[in-house]
Structure formats: C-alpha cells, structure tokens
Chain A
C-alpha cells in the first residue's frame, strides 16, 4: 500500500478543516482547555475510536493520524483474490470522518514521547495529547521466515494487507496456466484474522474449480488446528475435493524457508514448487507500537482489559490487531467493538470518572463459496484482567446446518461488511 508523505499543503489543508471545526466549539470550552486525543491509525480500530470519542463528547479535540488517504479493507479482500469482487468495493476515504469535526493528519507518525505526551509526525510536526490511541494494525515480520522479505513479496505476495498485494495475487492466479499448482502457507498463532487463510484457500479453490479445473491448491500450515476447522473441512470435502489439500503441522505442513529463485516453499519434509505462491508470514503489531514502547517482547501489545490502556505506558490506549486481547480474535469486528469500549473509557477518564466494566461481542464471517457463509461469534468480559469468553455464549455455526443457513450467513456477511464500514467510514 502506498504511504503518502505529509506535504506542507496536506497538513495546512487538515489544519484549515480543523479551524472550521474549532470555530463550532464555543470559545469558553477552548479557553478551559479542551481535552486532546490523538489517534494513530485510521483502520477499523482507529477510525472507530476517533468517531466514537467525538460522538460521545464533541468538546474533545480529536486528531486522527493516518498515512494513507484511502483505506483498503482486509475483510472480504479474499473475494477480490477469488475474482468475486472488485478492490474498489474495499476502499474508503476519510471525508465523513473529517466531517464529524475530527482533524485528520495524513502523515506517518514517527515518534511518541509518553512523558511529554506528544506524537511527532514525519516532517517534524508534533501533536500534544492528553490520551493517545495507538491502532496500527499489523506489520509483517520480514525476519520471521528465511528467504521471505519485502522483495520476495513482489513475487510471492502475502496479500495480508489489502491493496496492491491483493491485486497482485489475483492477477497471478488469472495469468496461471490451467494445471498450475498454487501453494499457500499459513503461520502459527497469533496472526491477523484467524479464519482468513482458510477462507482464502476456499475462494482460491473455488476460482480453480470454475476457471482452472486442472489446477489445485496446497495449503501448508504451521498449525494442527484452526478457526472454524470442522466447518471449513466439511465444506472442502463437499465443494473442493480435487482442488484443495490442507497439510497440517503434524503432516509436515510448516514452511521453514522460501526459495524465491525456484518459486518453492520448503518444509522439513518436502519442497513445494509453485506456479503461484501465497506466503502469509508471521506478524507483529504495527511499527509505531514498538516505537511508542507499548509492544512487548512478543511483538504484540499488552493492555488493560477494561480500558485498553497499555500496560507499558500510561495514557496510551492500544486497539485492534496489535493487542493481546485474551479470547478476542484479531478481527475487524473486534477492533471496532474494542474501539467503542475504549472511547467510552477515555471520555470517562478525561472527565475524572471511573470507567465502566465492558462487555464486547465479536462475529467473524467467512465466505467459503458464493452463497456459502460460516461464522464464529463470542461475547467477552474482563475476568482477572483478561478478556474472557462469557460462558455459555459464542461458538461456530452448526456443523449440520442446511445449505439455506449457509446462504443466509453469506447474505448476513455482506450486510455486516456494509454496516461496519458505514459506521467506521460512512
């Protein structure tokens, strides 16, 4: 994805819209010193948090720092890869977010000073905050899989950040000869979107079955178990018996290195030569989390389960895929739900009030084929400081559900995407 540099003009433009917004705030409120919240990252977590804070208390000055003017959503991007959707349907701008009175700085945050409570942007601008929200999503660990680096991703796309990588993988599949072998690798836990690799494998298999029937997909996995496993495996047996082969960790599925020149994924037991290779490498919290000192040795960010405040730096809250969220998965739904709880907590903390005990929901839809959707859902609350499943709630779609239920879930999946992106960007 492109990283837009902050030009003087860009920042002045956002400063001008902020001046317009500021004009709506009565002078006495400013004279009293309106509380300042800076949010780094304009994805499902960050943009949701910025909007929820502004909505809950319009007196708070909210600045959203985001490098890209266009957000490209990961959920549903597997449908783009499988030729069932266009990338444009995944893309959103920030006009409506700005219209809420949120100042937007289109820039990369380069430094966070937790003592002075300010954020430095590329170009040198600093933004002071009373509370900071860090929502950077993930970075790929370029040191996590020997042979796989940024240059390799140009030939063997990860497509785990949606955008150019999504289109690259799709175009490689389209250019592939019928009979070519697609090889995918899925990482060990934790990683963004636990059911994502399996949804992707399903939709690539669907593409092969309908467009390249002599081809097949091999999914090499660093795990023996994965999200919605029985549902996926039942669907694969029914829909893609000749087009999808899953190789578990215990069957030698763990990819230990990548041979770019040979287009080969290497395990301890075999070398898998690919016509198209999709490598989903190990991940960590986005870079600014490390810079701000909120990521720990695991690369992820420990948080307070009630307020999402960092356990490593006061006044900094961390959200979404970057955090260690107990039982909550790294999903867009989780990120959005966490953001709204965190926003309420920040508003209370800024007013000197104790935050409430939250309850959060997650629902993850996966599309296995057109008109075939499955879900996992959960309800969570903090127990001994850890986000924990509420007993008796949650779980996956019934294994024996009829196809009408699968079709209904596919329909609701689309509704979910439209509802959540409308709340975050619309």
Chain B
C-alpha cells in the first residue's frame, strides 16, 4: 500500500498537470447505490429528490424520520433500516460534498 502511494507520488511529481486527473475519494459504504433512484445529474424528470449538494444535516434528519416511521414513505423506511446512524452520517457528509 505504501509502495503504491510512493509510486503515485512520483507520477504526480513528474506530471503536476495530472493533479486534476487524480482518483476521487471513494464513497462510504452504501452511498453509491442511492443514485439508482436519486438522480446524480441535473434535469432528470423524477419526483424523487436529488441528494447531491443537499446539506448533511437534512439528509440525516430525513433518514432518521424514515427509520422511525415518523415520516411517511414508500421504500425509504425499508432502506433506512439497513444503515446505522454512523453510516447514515458518513453517506450524508459525502453527498453534501458532491457537486
């Protein structure tokens, strides 16, 4: 692992222009599935809200409300129950940072 990092470092050193082409951070467990329904891009005709760019606090509170049944939902109550509070927080933080 450290060897790979060093190698990567060398590439960056030789090619500073390659910085824009670096690997993007991996989404936390579960996060990549969400865009199957919650459109990743703009302009998609759907009643399902986008998560990208939404505040982490809002995503966390919605997920909590789905989980407890406080908020009426169709599938989200069944999906929210598959994640711990810490996992929901990580997913929410990640989506809040996406553009």
Binding site for B on A (CB under 8 A): 25-29, 32, 52, 55-59, 333, 336-337, 340-341, 344, 347-348, 351-354, 356-363, 375, 377-379, 381, 390, 392-395, 397, 405, 408-409, 411-412, 414-416, 418-420, 422-423, 426
Question: Interface residues of B: mostly helix, strand, loop or mixed?
Answer: loop
What would 21 A/B residue contacts be, using CB atoms closer than 8 Å? A28-B11, A29-B15, A32-B11, A52-B32, A55-B24, A56-B26, A344-B27, A353-B1, A361-B30, A378-B82, A393-B79, A393-B82, A394-B79, A394-B81, A409-B74, A409-B75, A415-B45, A415-B46, A418-B39, A422-B39, A422-B40
The answer to whether B82 and A356 touch across the interface, beta carbons within 8 angstroms, is no
How far, in Å, is B55 (CB) from chain A's closest CB?
A: 21
| A359 & B26 in contact (Cβ 8 Å cutoff) | no
Contact in complex: B78, A393 (CB < 8 Å): yes
Range of interface residues on B (Cβ < 8 Å) = 35 or more
Q: Which residue of A lies closest to B30 (CB)?
A: A359
Which residue of chain A is the closest to B81 with respect to CB atoms?
Answer: A393
Within 8 A of A (CB), among B17-35: 17-18, 21-24, 26-27, 29-30, 32-35
In the complex, how many angstroms separate the beta carbon of B41 from the nearest chain A beta carbon? 6
CA distance A420 to B39 in the complex (A): 7
Would B48 and A416 count as touching, CB distance under 8 A?
yes
Are B36 and A392 in contact, CB atoms less than 8 angstroms apart? no
CB-nearest residue of chain A to B72: A405
A354 touches B75 (CB 8 A): no
B34 to chain A, nearest CB (A): 7
Decide if B86 is an interface residue (CB 8 Å cutoff): no
Cβ B74 vs Cβ A397 within 8 A: yes
> How many Cβ-Cβ contacts under 8 Å join chain A to chain B?
158
The CA of A32 and the CA of B81, in the complex, are separated in Å by 45
Q: In the complex, what residue of chain B is closest to A59 when comparing beta carbons?
A: B21
Nearest-CB residue, chain A, relative to B25: A56
Given contacts A354-B1, A377-B75, A379-B83, contact A29 B48 (CB under 8 A): no
Of the residues A352, A358, A359, A392, contact of B81 by C-beta under 8 Å: A392
**A298→B52 CA distance, assembly (Å):** 41
Our pick among A25, A32, A408 for the contact of B21 (Cβ within 8 Å) is A25
Please determine whether B26 and A348 come into contact, CB atoms closer than 8 angstroms. Answer: yes
On whether the beta carbons of B39 and A419 are closer than 8 Å, the reply is: yes
* A26/B17 in contact, CB under 8 A: yes
* Ranked 6 nearest A-B pairs via Cβ: A379-B82, A415-B46, A393-B82, A352-B4, A340-B32, A28-B15
